[in-house]
Amino acid sequence: MAGPQVKVIVLRTAGTNCDREMVFAFSSLGAAVELVHINRLFSREVRLSDFHILAIPGGFTYGDDIMSGRILANELRIRLSEEIKDFVHEGKLILGVCNGFQVLVRAGILPGSKSSSGNLTFQQTVSLSNNDSGKFEDRWVHLRLSGDSVWTKGLDEMMYVPIAHAEGKFVVPNEETLSQLKKNNQIAFRYCNTDGEKGGYPVNPNGSIDDIAGITDPTGRILGMMPHPERHFSPLNHPAWTRKDHLSHLGQGANIFLNGVRYAREQLLGKTQVAVAKG
């Protein structure tokens, strides 16, 4: 692709295991992607400021000791908070999927507040706890688009993507926190049935309050979600692909990554030449 490229940093550490899929998703859409171990950020061998998008993939960082994502969240909060504040203040993008969502929540980067742009407090206010089923949930789920953010602009009203987690139940400390998320239009995705309606288990696979599957910060530039869009990047990932009459160019999850690349190109590089895929 001619001209400057959108630069994406995919963060990894001990236990990360969805990093290659994340790299593939962004690089397939024309971004320049670097897979970086967190120690390279600590040593300043690599600088966060050189990138437009920070992506934290799924996995079991540090074996999910203590709780899922807690150790990596503490490292970001304690050792990289100033760099992350500057990154957000500059209008750049952050994506956290599954364990990455857990990290963003436990670091206090999500859900943020109206003053979150450049003024992150790194205080945890919501959480992701053990699934109500008491077991690891590995299945495909339907999602209903709820919010309107950089990452979700123009997406299909419903998506079909896989989940793989044991601690995906989104919880809030009180009704006021939930009301604030709704008021700020921060709920990005909700679990739903094939008709787009609410449902019990396994439609809501973990018992999340209000069926919440993903949220953004108030700016819409930071997205965290439990389902894995990178695992439905290709239409061949769909479990029923052999029974489809036709296949689209990309899977439904791909448009999330394409939205991020397009926004960064238009707003951070001043480019406009990225087309939105029709899933």
Parent domain of 32: 7-268
Q: What phi-psi label fits residue 130: left (phi over 0), alpha (psi between -120 and 50 degrees) or beta? A: beta
In a domain, 162, yes or no: yes
Amino acid (one-letter) located at 28: S
165, 228, 232, 238: the catalytic one is 228
Average predicted confidence (pLDDT) for the chain? 92
Residue 116, pLDDT score? 43
In a domain, 170, yes or no: yes
Q: Is 228 an active-site residue?
A: yes
What pLDDT band is residue 208 in, cutting at 50, 70 and 90? very high
Would you tell me how many other CB atoms lie within 10 Å of the CB of residue 95? Answer: 29
Average pLDDT over residues 143-166: 94
Residue 1, pLDDT score? 42
21, 52, 75, 98: the catalytic one is 98
Report in angstroms the alpha-carbon separations of 43 from 40, 48, 71: 5, 12, 18
Q: What is the pLDDT of residues 59-103, one digit of tens each?
A: 999 999 889 999 999 999 999 999 999 999 999 999 999 999 999
CATH code of the domain covering residue 178: 3.40.50.880
142, 230, 232, 238: the catalytic one is 230
In a domain, 279, yes or no: no
- Give the total number of structural domains in the chain: 1
In a domain, 165, yes or no: yes
In a domain, 277, yes or no: no
* Residue 26 three-state SS: helix
Residues above pLDDT 70, as percent of the chain: 91
Amino acid (one-letter) located at 253: G
In a domain, 1, yes or no: no
pLDDT at 272 over 50: no
Q: Is 230 an active-site residue?
A: yes
pLDDT at 237 over 70: yes
CA distance 171 to 69: 16
Return the structure tokens found at 143: 């999602």
Residue 14, pLDDT score? 97
pLDDT at 273 over 80: no
Q: Is 266 an active-site residue?
A: no
In a domain, 146, yes or no: yes
Residue 271, pLDDT score? 38
- Cβ pair 117, 77 in contact under 8 A: no
Average pLDDT over residues 174-196: 97
Q: Facing residues of 165 across strands?
A: 137
